[in-house]
Amino acid sequence: MSIAVLVVLAVVAAGGLVLTARGERVRPPWGAALLTVLLAAAGVVAWAAEDPADGLLQGVTVAAVLAAVLGGGPVATAVLRAADPAAVGVAGGPQDPSILRGGAWIGVLERAAVAAALLAGSAEALAVVLAVKGLGRFAELRAPAAAERFIVGTLASGLWAAACVGVAVLLRG
């Protein structure tokens, strides 16, 4: 069962990489849903699994971090699309990629840092990661659409990273 968790997390990481390579504008909306379902399945299997060997646990942990880093972009994009007020005729919503340029790369680094902080069990490090991100974008957050994109994207990205690492933590027992 532990090997199944490793395989599913590897598939999530690979799927996230493929979706990320397609670009933010052409990602299918069902891609993030598929990644989420696969991650949930990995969580269920991890919860039911026996104690894994140390080497396998390390592999699952690495796969969880890769899934967090690579799969978070498509998931955050899908959440931003769902939160986009442009669907009801309001321009400049959180989906507009011209708002907060560079957010995709910042999100990759943020998810890696969130995963590392959670695996280390350091709530302080998690707070520092989120504070640094907020301070770095402070000047840009005066615009309501930018603030909304920042909050929605940060929460989606951070929750995805926490869920991926949570699978590895579940397997630890």
**Contact by Cβ (8 Å): 33, 86:** no
- Structure token digits, residue 148: 């909304």
- pLDDT computed for residue 28 by the predictor: 84
- pLDDT computed for residue 125 by the predictor: 94
Longest dimension (CA), the chain: 54
DSSP 92: S
Segment holding 142, helix H or strand E: none
One-letter identity of residue 88 = V
- pLDDT computed for residue 94 by the predictor: 47
- Return d(Cα 81, Cα 172) in angstroms, integer: 35
**Contact by Cβ (8 Å): 60, 168:** yes
Which residues are CB-neighbours of 68 under 8 A, at least 6 positions away? 111, 112, 114, 115, 160, 161, 164, 165
- Return d(Cα 99, Cα 147) in angstroms, integer: 10
Residue with tokens 């995963």: 115
The dihedral sign for the CA sequence 18, 20, 26, 31: positive
Q: 111: closest CA among 7, 13, 6?
A: 13
* C-alpha angle 117-57-13 in degrees, rounded to nearest 5: 70
- pLDDT computed for residue 86 by the predictor: 65
Report H helices in 26-122: 29-48, 54-82, 103-120
- pLDDT 10s digit of each residue in the chain, 173 long? 889 999 999 999 999 999 988 877 777 889 999 999 999 999 999 999 988 888 899 999 999 999 999 999 999 988 888 877 665 455 555 455 556 566 678 889 999 999 999 999 999 999 999 888 878 777 777 777 777 778 888 899 999 999 999 999 999 87
Burial class (CB in 10 A: 0-12, 13-18, 19+), 56: middle
- Return d(Cα 96, Cα 113) in angstroms, integer: 25
